Amino acid sequence: MTLEEKISLIEETIEADKLNADMELKDVDVWDSLGRLSIIIMFDQKFNKNLNAETLAAFKTVRDIADEME
């Protein structure tokens, strides 16, 4: 999966528009509790990965989320 495909999946998951890899999550309007929960569910369903609170809290940029999608 390319970086662009990962970003597209993140956009779809949290219902965001025009994300880029270096965008800080604190600047993404939909990076709220529902957005975080949606990311947790997406990782579980698409990648069979369980994200813990520490991993989720460590995400600072869109690229951080994409890098975890391996």
User: Per-domain residue ranges for the chain?
Assistant: 3-68
Confidence grade of residue 28 (pLDDT, cut at 50, 70, 90):
very high
Tokens of 54: 């520490």
Question: Looking at the domain that runs over 3-68, which CATH code has it been given?
Answer: 1.10.1200.10
Give the residue among 59, 57, 65 at the shortest CA–CA distance from 5: 65
Between CA 25 and CA 60 the distance in angstroms is 6
Amino acid letter, 28: V
Helix and strand element counts for the chain (H, E): 4, 0
Provide the whole-model pTM. Answer: 0.93
pLDDT at 25: 97
Over the stretch 52-69, which tens digit does the pLDDT of each residue have?
A: 999 999 999 999 999 999
pLDDT at 70: 81
Between CA 15 and CA 11 the distance in angstroms is 5
